[in-house]
Structures are given as structure tokens and as C-alpha cells.
Amino acid sequence: MANFKKGMLYVMVVFYIFGGYNHFNNPSFYIPLIPPYLSSWAVELNLIAGFFEIGLAVLLIPQQTRKWAGWGIVLMLLAFIPSHIYFIERGNFSLGSITMTPIISWIRLLVFQPLFILWALWVSRK
């Protein structure tokens, strides 16, 4: 079990480093996902999200900072909830080659967000 947990930790590290990098490499993918009431800060919020995803992923690696990084990821995922609610309100829209529907958006919010939160808490616990 310890090896599985360590493997899932490194999967999470790679997941967030890649996701964070993508905020810088492909901002046009993320900026339209920011709710309109935050649109005047869309570029900055996208960069901040990318910075935190990479930073928290790196902080997951050392055992000394893992607990705090896990809680940071939880807070970051909670901060993303307004975007998920915006996905639901927006209705059908394209996200790359995927058509997002309200049902898919609800599943992302009610299934995947809690799973990602639990994953972060699990891998960051001793």
C-alpha cells in the first residue's frame, strides 16, 4: 500500500506540474473558463493558478512540506468552484475537442472535485 500511495503522490505531482505549465503554455484554453465577474482579472488569475499548481506540486515532493502542500491544493480546488459553477450556468460549450454539457459540469463539480480533494489529503498525510 505504501508503494501505491507513493506512486499516486508522484502521479499528482506530474498532474499538477503539467496542468500548471499548461496555464502558461496555453492560456487561451483557461481564460474563457473564468466567470465573467472575474474577467477583468482573467489573465492574472490564469497565471496565478498556474503558479500555484506548479508550486504546490513541487512542495508535495519533500515530506516536510507535503502536508501544507496538500492543504494548499485543497484550498486551490475550492477556489476553482466558481469556475465549475460557471460551467453549469454556461450550458453547452466546447472545451478543446470536448463538448461540455451541464451534466458533465455537474459530474466534474460533485464527483471529480471531491475525489481530487480526497486524493490531495490522502497523499499528503503521513
Q: What is the full DSSP assignment across 84-126? A: HHHHHHH-SEEETTEEE-HHHHHHIIIIIHHHHHHHHHHHH--
Rg (CA), the chain: 15
> What's the start-to-end Cα distance of the chain, in Å?
13
At 85 the pLDDT is: 94
CA distance 66 to 76: 15
- Asked whether residue 120 carries a pLDDT value surpassing 80, the answer given is yes
The secondary structure of the chain in percent helix, strand, coil, rounded to multiples of 5, reads 85, 5, 10
- Asked whether residue 1 carries a pLDDT value surpassing 80, the answer given is no
Question: Where is pLDDT greater, at 33 or 121?
Answer: 121
At 93 the pLDDT is: 87
Q: What pTM, to 2 d.p., does this model score?
A: 0.91
15 Cβ neighbours under 8 A, 6+ residues apart = 57
Question: Where is pLDDT greater, at 43 or 100?
Answer: 43
Residue-wise pLDDT for 2-56, tens only, equals 899 999 999 999 999 999 999 999 999 899 889 999 999 999 999 999 999 999 9
CA distance 34 to 87: 9
One DSSP character per residue, 60-71 reads HSSHHHHHHHHH
Burial of 67 (0-12, 13-18, 19+ CB in 10 A): middle
CA distance 11 to 103: 27
Residue-wise pLDDT for 47-66, tens only, equals 999 999 999 999 999 999 99
At 95 the pLDDT is: 80
